[in-house]
Amino acid sequence: MITYISEHINEDLSLDFLSEHFFYSKYHLCRVFRKYTGKTLNVYINEKRIDTAKQYLTTDLSIRDVCRCSGYHNYSYFYKTFLKIVGIGPSEYRQASLEGQKK
């Protein structure tokens, strides 16, 4: 499942979809995933998506395109999630990355 998530990070990874895809009930899927990773499925997916976004932010893609390429379809949710996980917004992260590359 972890491999599938990594390979399809920008696609629909809803609990409903994953439970159907892997032929498990939603509840069983969540229990098993947390048992083996120590994280909830939602937390894991958001962390992976934000890691992907951080990579895209080092390119010249617009932040809205970074949002979509990272699997988010709602910019507001992307921004809040990015801020929560990284501690700064996507624009600030991009600026800090650019400044770090200049040195």
Q: Percent of the chain, pLDDT > 90?
A: 92
Q: Where are the domains of the chain?
A: 2-102
User: For position 97, what pLDDT does the model report?
Assistant: 85
For residue range 16-60, what is the model confidence (pLDDT) as tens digits? 999 999 999 999 999 999 999 999 999 999 999 999 999 999 999
N-terminal to C-terminal alpha carbon distance within the chain: 39
Tell me the three-class secondary structure of 7-76, residue by residue: HCCCCCCCHHHHHHHHCCCHHHHHHHHHHHHCCCHHHHHHHHHHHHHHHHCCCCCCHHHHHHHCCCCCHH
pTM of the model: 0.90
User: For position 101, what pLDDT does the model report?
Assistant: 66
* Fold of the CATH domain 2-102: Arc Repressor Mutant, subunit A (1.10.10)
User: For position 98, what pLDDT does the model report?
Assistant: 80
